[in-house]
Amino acid sequence: MIAPILWFGSNMLKEWVFYNCVCLVPDTIDSGWLSYPLRTAATRPEDGMNDSKANQLINTRNTKIAELKSAGVPLYPNDFRVSHSVADIQAALPPPDALQASELPEIAAAGRIMALNRFGKATFLRFRDRTGQLQAYVRKDKVGDDLYTLFKKFDIGDFIGIRGIMFQTRTGEWTLLAHQIQLLAKAYRPLPEKFHGLKDPEKRYRQRYVDLIMNPEVRQLFMRRSQMVQSIRRFMLSHDYLEVETPMMQPLAGGAEAEPFVTHHKALDMELYLRIAPELYLKRLVVGGLERVLKSTAISATKGFPPSTIPNSRCWNSTRPMPTLKT
């Protein structure tokens, strides 16, 4: 959930506050009338799997990892160069029958394996990057016996790099025919089963990375939030605001009745408080002559809360004097 809030103060202060509720939940949820502890993610198997099945899959992956290491295969190389994203590939595809497969240029793409369908000496897979999902076709006679044997140790969730050309299958789907395939990052744990997905709210809050992998709408939520932040920044900067930095830890607790987080600074031997009211230091800058100042910051307060709110909120805070001037 993302909720932009416009908060107008006195004539001497105008604040834009922007809260987002995309975060991890704490060890205890307090919904006002009910408080209950959350189980740790380590005690819970992947969604749709019992403990024995999840452990079996993890053990199988550990065996494959050991075999890859013994074969001298780097599990996390950084020498693969991507030439096209999935969106670039899909945008550049010609109309049906416009070009022969041999005339299409070779491309290099990378992403996470989301599906694997093996048929002996050939495999169809789907991989996904930040822009979309694409089907690839790996044949033993194209990549060679040694590389195909290595490819058999790849699993769903692994990051791979593929070089090849695009062709159309019998069903008309554009597919990347692999000439070379490379492991870029090996996943130690399996993803939730595709049929069940990730539906448990507790795990979705605690393991946002899995939530992002399995639920496209969550990825869209994160991207929209980033776009909103960029839009607010561009708007304020276009109106001659100066973006500044203010202290995250303060010697005096602000935020009216809100209870702050307290920490101890060993070098200074003093108590400090995480900021709750960012405008306190912005007002000092205004007094110093910076008429229009802007700050994007996280504010922190300790309190009980339901999953729909968080204690560490992102806000936009701007301060300027003489707001009635038409400038």
Residues 291, 206 share a domain: yes
Over the stretch 214-264, which tens digit does the pLDDT of each residue have?
888 888 989 998 899 899 899 999 989 999 888 888 888 877 777 788 889
Give the residue-averaged pLDDT of 79-95. 90
Task: Quote the pLDDT of residue 105.
Answer: 85
Residues 293, 221 share a domain: yes
Give the residue-averaged pLDDT of 114-123. 92
pTM: 0.70
From the DSSP assignment, how many helices (H) and strands (E) are in the chain?
8, 15
Residues 158, 71 share a domain: yes
Residues 60, 34 share a domain: no
User: Could you tell me where the DSSP H helices lie in the chain?
Assistant: 51-70, 86-92, 140-143, 145-151, 201-206, 208-214, 216-238, 279-287
Tell me the pLDDT band of 97, cut-offs 50, 70 and 90: low
Residues 295, 226 share a domain: yes
Over the stretch 175-214, which tens digit does the pLDDT of each residue have?
999 999 999 999 988 888 765 667 778 888 888 888 888 8
Structural domain of 267: 2-41+201-319
Task: Identify which of 78-82, 188-192, 319-323 has the greatest average pLDDT.
Answer: 78-82
Domain count, the chain: 2
- Asked whether residue 194 is domain-assigned, the answer is no
Give the separation between CA 49 and CA 317, rounded to whole angstroms. 46
Indicate which CATH number applies to the domain containing 230.
3.30.930.10
Percent of the chain topping pLDDT 70 = 71
- Asked whether residue 117 is domain-assigned, the answer is yes
Res 64 pLDDT > 60 = yes
Strands 2-8 and 14-20: antiparallel
Distances (CA, A) of 308 to 255, 303, 311, 318: 21, 13, 11, 25
Indicate which CATH number applies to the domain containing 150.
2.40.50.140
Rounded to the nearest 5°, which phi and psi values hold at 262?
-115, 135
Give the separation between CA 312 and CA 303, rounded to whole angstroms. 11
Task: Quote the pLDDT of residue 27.
Answer: 37
- Asked whether residue 91 is domain-assigned, the answer is yes
Residues 172, 67 share a domain: yes
Res 269 pLDDT > 90 = yes
Task: Quote the pLDDT of residue 163.
Answer: 95
- Asked whether residue 208 is domain-assigned, the answer is yes
